[in-house]
Amino acid sequence: DFWHTIDYGYNGTVEIYETDLRKLLERTKKALPQVKLIIGEPFAVAGGSAIDERWEAFAGYRPAAKKIAADFGAVFLPYQSIFDEALKLAPWEYWTPDGVHASMAGSYLMAQAWLEGWKRI
């Protein structure tokens, strides 16, 4: 959880995220060989009260998730661009209370993307 690297002393990195997610997906595919995967892009909504200059390093998690999705044949949900586009329609407070957690409206956007992703499986 990237947020914990800022305020709670967690020493996670993009490399740890990528390694751990790959291990999880490998175990999952081994246990459930026919499983289909959907991977949601990590996102942070600009303007959110939790988002500041310390979040610059977070950007590296997005391409890592996209690469893992490609490597595992998973559907990739581009949540960052979905929220970036949504900001053209309403301010950040509408989509998220803090820039990290989705509001009901933000959750709706994510659910719609997930349903569209499901159609591609």
Q: Residue 76 has what pLDDT?
A: 99
State the Cα–Cα distance between residues 57 and 94, nearest whole angstrom.
25
- In the chain, the amino acid numbered 120 is R
Is the predicted pLDDT of residue 3 greater than 90, yes or no? no
Q: Residue 49 has what pLDDT?
A: 81
Global confidence as pTM: 0.90
List Cα–Cα distances, 99 to 3, 50, 52, 87, 107, in angstroms: 11, 6, 10, 11, 13
State the Cα–Cα distance between residues 65 and 47, nearest whole angstrom.
23
CATH classification code of 2-119:
3.40.50.1110
42 neighbors 62 (Cβ within 8 angstroms): yes
pLDDT tens, residue by residue, 7-51: 666 778 899 999 999 999 999 999 999 999 999 999 999 888 888
| Structural domain boundaries in the chain | 2-119
pLDDT tens, residue by residue, 75-107: 999 999 999 999 999 999 999 999 999 999 999
Q: Taking each helix axis from N to C terminus, what angle separates 79-86 and 104-119, rounded to the nearest 10 degrees?
A: 130
Grade residue 117 by pLDDT with cuts at 50, 70 and 90: very high
